[in-house]
């Protein structure tokens, strides 16, 4: 799987929650060769299915969200744009380069006062969202003509290798995971399955998971795996809340994770000698697994995550091997489902 080519294509596109269409279109072109049928639902979710050919076969759904965090324009003052957050923390924003998704898009920077003019007290304070503006280099009249209220804004696109093993860019949360789903589907090419395999590139995860909720209700799978990112370890991070990159994906353990699915994922990893880590989730996993688990009459659910550094910034970082190992794990899990003797207890 050409991970870097796929991620460069996906991550350099802008798709804040509710505005994912360009990303979904590119993802569709990547998914179509691997599926029997691909479509986009009313909400904008990308859905693909590979049918196993068995009448009444059970359904496995693998989900990764396509949206990213961003902003939306709420007003204009002296040519500067007021904005509200779509999943972004205000501390991440001062002096950031952004793309304002007008037609055509325009570049901007989040304005910030230089340290020379800040009081000692202000230097220690975190900025508030309402105190920040986007500078697009326009007058008030020009900005009002070119930037409608409600225009979405994304971090400026960027993607590049970081050292020999890691990859850096915006929106790797969660497009690195969608790349892993593509990898799993590619590994399963030509292999016999006993379940119908569905892949969901869901929308609006960063604003509550509406895409996964609608997708799961429509597909009505018997099992689902939410594939997302988790916090990668850095020198300043708590060791008990983060996971090292390069040590494999994490498998969720907790009330959002059906026990036999967790056990099966860990067993498959052991059989294949794949590195994995356990992630204890005491409640809401913070992933699409939470809304999917209770869709319809309830769905057996697992959560698999790829460690990622600097979440919700334009310089998110993952390790290539973790994406590859996630693809291998998901493919092995899908291949084992429905086989004689497989346990669902």
Q: Output the six-digit token pair for 51.
A: 């049918």
pLDDT in tens, 121-172: 656 666 788 889 999 999 999 999 999 999 999 999 889 999 999 999 999 9
pLDDT at 115: 61
Tell me which residues are annotated as active site: 205
Instruction: Please check the confidence at residue 120 and state whether its pLDDT lies above 90.
Output: no
Region 207-233: mean pLDDT is 97
Region 27-40: mean pLDDT is 98
- Cα distance between residue 94 and residue 118, in whole Å: 14
pLDDT in tens, 301-319: 999 999 999 999 999 999 9
For the chain, the residue count is 345
Structural contact between residues 286 and 208, judged by C-beta atoms closer than 8 angstroms: no
pTM for this entry = 0.94
Instruction: Please check the confidence at residue 117 and state whether its pLDDT lies above 60.
Output: no
CA distances from 94 to 211, 231, 342 (A): 30, 23, 52
Helices vs strands, H then E, count in the chain = 9, 17
- Cα distance between residue 29 and residue 9, in whole Å: 11
pLDDT at 1: 72
Q: What percent of the chain has pLDDT over 70?
A: 94
The dihedral built from the CA positions of residue 10, 162, 153 and 137, taken in this order, carries a sign that is negative
pLDDT in tens, 88-97: 888 889 889 9
CA distances from 317 to 174, 212, 267, 326 (A): 11, 24, 28, 16
- Cα distance between residue 239 and residue 153, in whole Å: 34
Region 9-34: mean pLDDT is 97
- Cα distance between residue 177 and residue 229, in whole Å: 7
Structural contact between residues 168 and 160, judged by C-beta atoms closer than 8 angstroms: yes
- Cα distance between residue 307 and residue 176, in whole Å: 10
Region 288-295: mean pLDDT is 95
3-state secondary structure 44-56: CCEEEEECCCCCC
Instruction: Please check the confidence at residue 344 and state whether its pLDDT lies above 90.
Output: no
Q: How many CA atoms lie within 13 A of 202 on its CB side?
A: 35
pLDDT at 340: 55
- Within the chain, residue ranges assigned H as helices are 3-11, 21-31, 120-123, 140-146, 172-187, 210-219, 259-272, 289-293, 320-336
pLDDT at 89: 86
pLDDT at 127: 77
Average pLDDT, the chain: 93
pLDDT at 318: 98
pLDDT at 158: 85
pLDDT in tens, 237-251: 888 889 999 999 999
pLDDT in tens, 52-70: 999 999 999 999 999 999 9
Strand order, beta sheet including 316-319? 159-162, 166-169, 316-319
pLDDT at 301: 97
């Amino acid at each position: 799987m050409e991970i870097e080519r796929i991620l460069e294509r996906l991550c350099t596109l802008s798709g804040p929650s509710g505005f994912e269409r360009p990303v979904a279109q590119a993802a569709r072109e990547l998914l179509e060769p691997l599926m029997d049928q691909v479509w986009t639902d009313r909400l904008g979710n990308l859905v693909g299915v590979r049918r196993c050919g068995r009448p009444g076969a059970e359904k496995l759904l693998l989900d990764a969200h396509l949206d990213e965090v961003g902003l939306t324009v709420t007003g204009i003052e002296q040519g500067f744009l007021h904005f509200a957050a779509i999943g972004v923390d205000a501390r991440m924003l001062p002096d950031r380069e952004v793309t304002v998704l007008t037609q055509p898009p325009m570049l901007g920077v989040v304005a910030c006062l230089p340290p020379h003019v800040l009081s000692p007290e202000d230097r220690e304070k975190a900025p508030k969202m309402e105190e920040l503006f986007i500078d697009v280099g326009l007058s008030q009249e020009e900005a009002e003509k070119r930037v409608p209220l409600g225009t979405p804004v994304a971090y400026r696109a960027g993607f590049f290798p970081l050292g020999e093993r890691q990859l850096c860019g915006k929106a790797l949360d969660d497009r690195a995971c969608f790349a892993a789903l593509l990898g799993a589907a590619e590994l399963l090419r030509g292999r016999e399955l006993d379940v119908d395999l569905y892949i969901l590139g869901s929308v609006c995860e960063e604003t509550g998971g509406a895409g996964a909720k609608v997708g799961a209700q429509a597909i009505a799978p018997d099992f689902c795996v939410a594939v997302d990112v988790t916090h990668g370890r850095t020198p300043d991070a708590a060791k008990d809340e983060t996971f090292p990159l390069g040590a494999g994906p994490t498998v969720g353990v907790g009330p959002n994770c059906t026990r036999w699915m967790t056990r099966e994922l860990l067993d498959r990893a052991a059989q294949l000698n794949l590195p994995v880590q356990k992630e204890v989730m005491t409640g809401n996993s913070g992933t699409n697994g939470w809304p999917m688990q209770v869709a319809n009459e309830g769905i057996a659910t697992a959560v698999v995550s790829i460690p990622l550094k600097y979440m919700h910034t334009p310089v998110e970082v993952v390790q290539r091997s973790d994406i590859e190992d996630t693809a291998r794990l998901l493919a092995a899990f899908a291949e084992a489902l429905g086989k004689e003797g497989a346990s669902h207890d």
